[in-house]
């Protein structure tokens, strides 16, 4: 079996990172008028940005399409080989085409360019050869050429694909800003992910309500409060006044501190004598992620949830946030 030489492996790995870093850095001077024009065409697009590319450029193009779509620019990827066998019908006159090719001479793309131009849609190309046929046919060409590939054989697309990917990200983010795309907008396209949950989920979506809320009146005994805490299993009970408004809270931590002091008869002691009042509370419209931050900063594990009149409407603890995937 081949022998692995650690020093040589580290040397080659470092060389790849350095080469690709240089390739990306060289793109800075190409954020020019062509870049601005490409962004304008995509911003003006009334349909979708259709990304095409073959081979490794196709993989990069697929990722660019996904990034555009998730940052406010409707986009999808079409394989150019399939396009010439029927999938070209996916491209409409309202679209803009973004084509990737390091050589700028990819046959499968060149074959369909006349049909793209017949539709009258803008053609933006990312090529490694500004004098290539694709670059000459483009409405706008962005130069993503690299001095050399990171592959020691100079054959495998490495630095060139990294450069194309970085330029695609630059286009997507520039468009994001131009569209005033917000974190809430991003979350709407990622509802199943952790980020979506952090940006979309509110306290009211996951809080305990109705009979699941641990609560007792101000005149309840300490024993009654402990039974309610145990029965509801949230590590606390809320104390309310006769109108149902929040009066205070009693938690597991309060119980431990009380037991350490001793001298309390849980049968005769009233909960109002040992509750924490006033206490912090949450609103149902607060983001669950903000509730988590408040729990962390205040070092508490549970909160009552109240309405505008301070009436108790729910309860939330750390386990609810864990189950919801907010943490």
CATH number of the domain that residue 121 is part of: 3.40.50.10490
Question: In this structure, are 140 and 37 located in the same domain?
Answer: yes
The rounded distance, in Å, linking the Cα atoms of 142 and 146 is 13
Q: Measured over all CA atoms, what is the biggest interatomic distance in the chain, rounded to whole angstroms?
A: 91
Question: In this structure, are 174 and 233 located in the same domain?
Answer: no
Residue 166 inside a domain? The answer is yes
Residue 90 inside a domain? The answer is yes
Cβ count near 82 (within 10 Å) = 13
Question: In this structure, are 81 and 117 located in the same domain?
Answer: yes
Residue 192 inside a domain? The answer is no
Question: In this structure, are 89 and 166 located in the same domain?
Answer: yes
Residue 197 inside a domain? The answer is no
Question: In this structure, are 20 and 87 located in the same domain?
Answer: yes
Would you call 287 helix, strand, or coil by DSSP? strand
Contact yes or no for 222/266 (Cβ under 8 A)? yes
How many independent structural domains does the chain possess?
Answer: 2
Residues in contact with 292: Cβ distance below 8 Å, sequence separation at least 6, in sequence order: 318, 321, 326, 327
Q: How confident is the model at residue 108, as a pLDDT?
A: 92
The rounded distance, in Å, linking the Cα atoms of 168 and 48 is 15
Q: How confident is the model at residue 61, as a pLDDT?
A: 96
What range does the domain containing 234 cover? 203-324
CATH number at residue 294: 3.10.580.10
Q: How confident is the model at residue 184, as a pLDDT?
A: 62
Q: How confident is the model at residue 37, as a pLDDT?
A: 97
Q: Of the residues 181, 216, 233, which one is the last residue of a structural domain?
A: 181
Enclosing H/E stretch for 257: helix 252-261
The rounded distance, in Å, linking the Cα atoms of 144 and 100 is 10
Low-confidence ranges of the chain (pLDDT < 50): none
From the list 233, 239, 232, the residue with the least C-alpha distance to 278 is 239
Question: In this structure, are 120 and 227 located in the same domain?
Answer: no
Question: In this structure, are 143 and 223 located in the same domain?
Answer: no
Residue 168 inside a domain? The answer is yes
Question: In this structure, are 163 and 290 located in the same domain?
Answer: no
Write the CA distances from 94 to 78, 138, 308, integer angstroms.
Answer: 16, 17, 48
- Do strands 236-240 and 246-251 pair parallel, antiparallel, or not at all (unpaired)? antiparallel
Q: How confident is the model at residue 191, as a pLDDT?
A: 52
Question: In this structure, are 293 and 175 located in the same domain?
Answer: no
Residue 191 inside a domain? The answer is no
Question: In this structure, are 157 and 10 located in the same domain?
Answer: yes
Question: In this structure, are 207 and 129 located in the same domain?
Answer: no
Q: Of the residues 181, 215, 241, which one is the last residue of a structural domain?
A: 181
Question: In this structure, are 17 and 159 located in the same domain?
Answer: yes
């Amino acid at each position: 079996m081949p022998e692995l030489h650690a020093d040589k492996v580290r040397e080659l790995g470092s060389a790849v990172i350095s080469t690709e870093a240089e390739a990306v850095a060289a793109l800075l001077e190409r954020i020019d008028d062509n870049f601005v024009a490409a962004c304008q065409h995509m911003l003006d697009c009334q349909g979708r940005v259709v990304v095409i590319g073959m081979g490794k450029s196709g993989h990069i193009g697929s990722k660019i399409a996904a990034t555009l779509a998730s940052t406010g620019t409707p986009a999808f990827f079409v394989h150019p080989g399939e396009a010439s066998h029927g999938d070209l019908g996916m491209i409409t006159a309202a679209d803009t085409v973004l084509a990737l090719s390091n050589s700028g001479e990819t046959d499968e793309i060149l074959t369909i360019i006349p049909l793209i131009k017949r539709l009258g849609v803008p053609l933006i190309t990312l090529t490694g050869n500004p004098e290539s046929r694709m670059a000459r046919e483009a409405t706008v060409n962005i130069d993503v050429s690299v001095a050399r590939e990171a592959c020691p054989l100079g054959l495998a697309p490495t630095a060139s694909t990294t450069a194309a990917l970085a330029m695609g990200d630059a286009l997507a983010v520039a468009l994001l800003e131009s569209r005033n795309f917000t974190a809430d907008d991003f979350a709407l396209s990622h509802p199943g992910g952790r980020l979506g949950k952090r940006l979309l989920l509110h306290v009211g979506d996951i809080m305990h309500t109705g009979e699941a809320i641990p609560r007792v009146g101000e005149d309840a005994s300490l024993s009654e409060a402990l039974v309610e805490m145990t029965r509801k299993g949230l590590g606390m009970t809320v104390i309310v006044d006769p109108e149902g408004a929040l009066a205070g809270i009693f938690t597991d931590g309060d119980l431990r501190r009380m037991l350490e002091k001793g001298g309390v008869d849980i049968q005769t002691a009233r909960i109002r004598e040992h509750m924490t009042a006033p206490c912090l509370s949450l609103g149902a419209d607060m983001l669950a992620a903000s509730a988590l931050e408040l729990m962390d900063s205040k070092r508490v594990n549970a909160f009552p949830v109240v309405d505008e009149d301070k009436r108790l409407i729910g309860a939330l603890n750390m386990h609810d946030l864990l189950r919801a995937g907010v943490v």
